[in-house]
Structure 1
Amino acid sequence: MNQRPRRASDDVSFGIKVAALWSVCLLAIIAFLVAMVWLLNSISLVTITVAIAVMITALLQPAVAWLDRRGLPHAVAAVLVYVVGIALLGLALWFVISQIAKSQTNIGQQLTASLTTIRDWLVNGPIHMSSKEADKYTIHLGQTIGQYKNQIASGAWESANTAIGIVSGAVFTLFAVLFVLLDNGKMFGWFVRFFPDDTEGHVWAGGAAAWRTLTAYMRSLVLLAAVNAIAMVPVMMIAGLPLVVPLAVLLFIGSLVPMIGVLVAGAVVVMIALVTKGITTAIVVAIMLVLIVQLFGNLLNPVILGKAVDIHPFAILVGVTGGTLLAGIFGAFVAVPFIAVVHNAIRAMREFNAGKIDPLIEGHVPAEVAEHPPPVPHGQEHRLSDPGPA
């Protein structure tokens, strides 16, 4: 009996072969992600405007759906919500920008004074740090942050640093929001048709879960940010802090970036309390801020989100940090919803494949799509025999 000639690969263990295959697959995935990041960054103006438009749409779409369920024609509901929503968002944006512009100099002076106060405490307090070391941790750190703050904040905004870029991006965003609100899911149906027939059901399930996640996240994000800022107003007023309204606006903006954003905004509030009212008031303000953020986060998040956005805090921290490194403030803002959307979409596709969910039965696709239901995995056709309410 002839034996097959021995090959060098025969001496490689099965575990090494599996590890090598996984390594090649992971390298291919990493290369794809790097290429996608490079591509999106090269057209960052389009990337930013589309992302913002989708998030604004997710914030407004529940109101359109509410009007739809009450018999109002979809086009009328979409236009009505669009006009009212954009007007309110524009008013809020104007208020935020005006408050920041008026108080930017005062806040900067207060922060500089607080760094000096902290430096003196490090030198003369119980720590007895040397002047050189204290300067490194306070004055020099403040100068470094001030020197590089524009670079830290720019990130993917670099392509929108001209008036033409900002105006064109704003106009594009407004038209995109109106178009998506009027579209009512038809565009996603067109996108699904690019996939093979036996995978369309998976894409529908993943897309429905992704949209539910983004809608819940945006609603929770704005509501919790507003609650955090408003709840701190009486605390800051009782403490006698200056710049109460600008600091509340800063807390609102900081709360839009999970963990890191509210931490930075809260640090600014505490430092201003330190330099204006002393260390005791600063400690009380810090404690109240932590209690308010934790209290409302733990009370409201389960009610607003349910299980729509269930991400471990460590994953949030890693995502926000990675997003900041890749795309500055914008990357930090979109990192968490991106992780949540991808996580829930993958989970929904797995559940669909296992026959646990059906996007039609759960009413997660538009009515016109229900007329042409997506195919389901082989052997699970019985799940669409009773589609239920579309």
Structure 2
Amino acid sequence: MGETPNERSTPCSAGRPSLRALWTDPFGRLAIRAAQVVLVLLVAMAVVQAAIRLKLLVIPLLLALIVSAALFPLIAFLRRLHMPHAVAALLTLLLGGVGVGGVIALAVARVAAQWPMLQSSAIEGFGQALHYLHRGPLSISEQQIEHTRQAVVDFITSSEFGQHAMAGVFTTMELATGLVLVLFILFFFLKDGPSIWRFLLRPLRPAWQARAAHAGDCAIDVLGGYLRGTALVALVDTVFIGGAVWILDVPLAVPLSILVFLAAFVPIVGATATGVIAALVALVTVGLSAAIWVSVVVIVVNQLEGNLLSPVVLGRSLQLHSLVVLLALTAGTILGGIVGTLLAVPLTGVAWAVAKSWNDPLPPHRDG
């Protein structure tokens, strides 16, 4: 019988693998997988770049989402009292705004009251430091000290410093705009959060809607638990470190305590950094013994937080290894600065919670 056209082969194609064989052998499958990974990375990079360019919108949106997740139990309680959604959201927002605004006003008032003392103490401490550098074991000459001082003066009087000052003005304007956006977005999240989420899920197929709704519930639980747990840990840090600063009669005890509380929302490094600042203020304003005592309290509090409080309070909500937390903090700082540092860990925890819960057995349907 004669050969069919499909069975014929030319001498040139006899030893050549087919195109399909090139993509179905082990190396071809590896190449396809590598191309998929590169495509995913490119999409992720595009999303990150878009978020960075739209940071004035993205950051308030994320902050409002995290805060609304933490306040959701209060909103649910007020709704069970048959309070209208708008009234419940406005009441919650006012309580939070009065609390935060009162703390900030108290800190500013105490700083203004104790600023002359702190200024004179800082000048005296700076003079003592220069004397130690000149007379101490380092034996730095007066000429070197004068060169350093002149370099600082030249920088302050240069145009570059003016540009930095103008950049600070624009940053302040951005912060004010972002704060207003956070308040508006937070109000609507508190008022219409469940209905907004249902609207976003509506284009999905029913099976995917159920999966996404379950993952969203897990994400909200993680965000709310993380923020409430971190606030509890921050309160403990503030009581111990702020109490030590107050007992030792260190100036600006109230602002330093507030700073410790806010910095504790940055895991691992936040409380340590503010503890160092408190110790330096104690060294400049009170003396070496006060700085040593503050440092001892900071070390003890960090050990208590790392070995007891964080595993117990945040263990169930966060469930991230310390190495993952450090990597997330580093990436967040590189991409978003201070705000990125604050958002990196909760967003990483949410991503991990969604990934784990996506294939969970679906719970019975509950109304939002």
Q: How high is the TM-score relative to the length of structure 2? A: 0.77
Which residue is 1:40 aligned to?
Answer: 51
Which residue is 1:175 aligned to?
Answer: 184
Shift in Å, 1:175: 2.1
Which residue is 1:7 aligned to?
Answer: 17
Shift in Å, 1:318: 1.6
Question: Contact conserved, 1:64 with 1:81, CA < 8 A, in 2?
Answer: yes
Shift in Å, 1:35: 1.3
Matched, 1:63 2:61: no
Question: Contact conserved, 2:93 with 2:187, CA < 8 A, in 1?
Answer: yes
Shift in Å, 1:120: 7.5
Shift in Å, 1:12: 9.4
Distance in 2 between residues matched to 1:278 and 1:159, nearest whole Å: 36
The amino acid that maps onto 2:72 is Q
Distance in 2 between residues matched to 1:275 and 1:39, nearest whole Å: 45
Shift in Å, 1:95: 3.2
Question: Contact conserved, 1:229 with 1:249, CA < 8 A, in 2?
Answer: yes
Shift in Å, 1:342: 0.8
Structure 2: tracts of 5 or more residues without a match = 1-6
Distance in 2 between residues matched to 1:95 and 1:24, nearest whole Å: 56
Helix, strand or coil at the partner of 1:195:
coil
Question: Contact conserved, 2:23 with 2:29, CA < 8 A, in 1?
Answer: no
The structure-2 alpha-carbon separation of the partners of 1:106 and 1:150, relative to structure 1 and needing over 3 Å to count, comes to farther
The amino acid that maps onto 1:33 is A
Distance in 1 between residues matched to 2:294 and 2:331, nearest whole Å: 30
Matched, 1:91 2:110: no
Q: Mapping of 1:331-346 within 5 angstroms?
A: 331-346=340-355
The amino acid that maps onto 1:225 is A
Distance in 1 between residues matched to 2:18 and 2:161, nearest whole Å: 56
Helix, strand or coil at the partner of 1:175:
helix
**Percentage of identical aligned residues:** 26
Shift in Å, 1:11: 8.2
Q: Mapping of 1:187-226 within 5 angstroms?
A: 187-226=196-235
Which residue is 2:328 aligned to?
Answer: 319
Distance in 2 between residues matched to 1:275 and 1:343, nearest whole Å: 44
Distance in 2 between residues matched to 1:92 and 1:302, nearest whole Å: 28
Which residue is 1:283 aligned to?
Answer: 292
Q: Mapping of 1:213-362 within 5 angstroms?
A: 213-296=222-305, 298-302=307-311, 304-350=313-359, 352=360, 355=361, 358-360=362-364
Q: After alignment, is 193-202 or 91-100 more displaced?
A: 91-100
Q: Mark the structure with the bigger radius of gyration.
A: 2
Question: Contact conserved, 2:282 with 2:291, CA < 8 A, in 1?
Answer: yes
Cα offsets for 1:287-334 (capped at 9, x unmatched): 211222432565444554451111111211221122111111111111
Distance in 2 between residues matched to 1:122 and 1:201, nearest whole Å: 67
The structure-2 alpha-carbon separation of the partners of 1:94 and 1:359, relative to structure 1 and needing over 3 Å to count, comes to farther
Question: Contact conserved, 2:23 with 2:32, CA < 8 A, in 1?
Answer: no
Distance in 2 between residues matched to 1:265 and 1:150, nearest whole Å: 28
Which residue is 2:89 aligned to?
Answer: 78
Distance in 1 between residues matched to 2:279 and 2:128, nearest whole Å: 13
Q: Mapping of 1:98-109 within 5 angstroms?
A: 98-99=109-110
Which residue is 2:171 aligned to?
Answer: 161
Distance in 1 between residues matched to 2:297 and 2:229, nearest whole Å: 21
Distance in 1 between residues matched to 2:121 and 2:35, nearest whole Å: 53
Matched, 1:31 2:51: no
Distance in 1 between residues matched to 2:113 and 2:27, nearest whole Å: 63
Q: Mapping of 1:48-59 within 5 angstroms?
A: 48-59=59-70
Question: Contact conserved, 1:60 with 1:85, CA < 8 A, in 2?
Answer: no
Question: Contact conserved, 1:117 with 1:275, CA < 8 A, in 2?
Answer: no
The amino acid that maps onto 1:173 is V
Helix, strand or coil at the partner of 2:266:
coil
Cα offsets for 1:100-135 (capped at 9, x unmatched): 66667876886787688778878977xx55749xx9
Q: After alignment, is 226-235 or 19-28 more displaced?
A: 19-28
Distance in 2 between residues matched to 1:258 and 1:307, nearest whole Å: 16
Question: Contact conserved, 1:260 with 1:320, CA < 8 A, in 2?
Answer: no
The structure-2 alpha-carbon separation of the partners of 1:87 and 1:32, relative to structure 1 and needing over 3 Å to count, comes to same
Distance in 2 between residues matched to 1:20 and 1:129, nearest whole Å: 60
The amino acid that maps onto 2:53 is S
